[in-house]
Amino acid sequence: MFGKYKPLWGRKPRLKSAYDAVIIGGGLHGLATAYFLAKNHGIKDVAVLEKRHIGFGGAGRNTAIVRANQRTQENIPLYREALELWPVLTRELDYNLMFNNCGNLNLVHSEAAMHAARMNIASAQFLGVESHLIDAHQAKEMMPALNISENITYPVHGAMYHPPGGIVRHDAVVWGLAKGAAKLGVHIHQHTEATAIDTANGKITAVDTTAGRISTPRVLVSAGGYSAAIIHKMLGIRLPISVLTIQAMVTQPLKPILDHVISSGAYHVYANQTLKGEVATGAHMDPWPNYTTQNTAHYVKHQAEALSELLPCLRAVKFMRTWAGLADMTPDMAPIMDGNDPLEGFFMDCGWGYFGFKSCSAVGKYMAAYMATGRCPEILRPFTLRRYEQHRLMGETAALVSYSPDN
């Protein structure tokens, strides 16, 4: 029985000496781009290089929350489309991504924050994303476990309710996209590390890997938290990115108590109940850049304190597992998606911070179009790297709880 096991994405392919496109990073963005290159553009001669196994990085470490209530008009449409793609991909890939459309409640803890939430909601509604402002009592009706008493550190004033959001099983997305891409002919090379990117006359010519050299006219770096280090080391291009460890954990499984994703900027916490019953929760980033992906006692304690104030019924519930991943943060909290600049055939998709999961489906579609045609799709234009030297930073910081790249 075990001897017959074959992964959904087929057996290990042989590394060829040339591919039409090489993607560094077998996470969600890389796999989604490979899938859409093959499906929408007929570019099936694609190699996805993954240093460990697919979904080892951020793809399997995020807390699975999806939503589209970003802050700026450049960002909202991208996340809206990503949200709309979950049911479509579930059908297309013939793989259950377990999209649980439970909606998100972003708690608001002051009158100033209520004003900010109104702005946020107005932007969302203007761009066709459903989002409402509700008061503390309405929030309590929606989530009876919520503590709306005045006697907590940050009493709840209201909430931003965003019904189209929810949670998606992140591993299923990795496996589904890998299955879909491999079926169309994409080669997924696990345990194969890119070691160098070769260029000649301002063009990409090849990628060196631990399994051999690949000639290719285009390469995409979509290696999540490692992208900035890879791009700097291999091409000498520095990026406006800081890489921080972000922590998460789950409690023991419980009967259903959270009908929605809940998050709070003031308490610096977000939580959702998985289909298995565990409360998955996280939010904290180390206040200094590092690649350790280790948890800290400092934060496990913070998390327990915050959760037991907001959701007192969770007091004495145990954390079963903790883990951490990497977030590559940019100064304006918006990603960098760019291509053919300064090298022809070089594409990058990085700087996602902790938004990489919720955006992967739409980004894969548009990065594939960019790589296939060489023309930047309209929706990706604002995300160029050049915006930093042009002082056109996006105002996405306002959509967030309370961090900046260097805290």
Partner 1 sequence: MALTITCPICGKRNGYEFRYGGEDKGPRPDESGLTPQRWCDYVHLNDCTAGVQKEWWFHRDGCGAWFTIHRDTTTNLEVQSAEEN
406 belongs to the binding site for partner 1 (CB under 8 A): yes
The 380-399 contact track toward partner 1, x by CB under 8 A, reads --------xxxx--------
Sheet holding 187-189, edge to edge: 187-189, 46-49, 21-24, 219-221, 346-350, 336-339
Judged by beta carbon, residue 278 or residue 349, the one nearer partner 1 is 349
Helix (H) or strand (E) holding 176: helix 170-183
Closest distance to partner 1 from the beta carbon of 330 (Å): 8
Choose one: 66-74, 127-135, 151-159, 289-297; the region binding partner 1 (CB under 8 A). Answer: 289-297
Residues 81-110 that bind partner 1 (CB under 8 A): none
**Helix or strand run (H / E) with residue 302:** helix 297-310
Give the CA distances from residue 50 to residues 25, 113, 163, 197, 338, in Å, rounded to whole numbers and listed in that order.
5, 42, 35, 15, 21
Whether 401 contacts 381, CB under 8 Å: no
Q: How, if at all, do strands 194-200 and 203-209 pair?
A: antiparallel
Segment interacting with partner 1, rule: CB under 8 A, options 18-26, 233-241, 261-269, 372-380? 233-241
- At residue 214's C-alpha, the angle toward residues 209 and 215, to 5°, is 145
Q: Least distance from C-beta 24 to partner 1, angstroms? A: 15
* 292 binds partner 1, rule: CB under 8 A: yes
Compute how many residues bind partner 1; rule: CB under 8 A: 31
Token pair belonging to 36: 């859409």
Question: What is the contact mask toward partner 1 in residues 238 to 267, using x (rule: CB under 8 A)?
Answer: xxxxxx-x----------------------
Q: Does 296 interact with partner 1 (rule: CB under 8 A)?
A: yes
Give the nearer residue to partner 1 in terms of CB position, either 184 or 229: 229
- DSSP, collapsed to helix, strand or coil, labels residue 379 as helix
CA Rg value for the chain:
21
Residues of this chain that interact with partner 1 (CB under 8 A) are 226, 228-229, 232, 238-243, 245, 286-292, 294-298, 328, 331, 388-391, 406-407
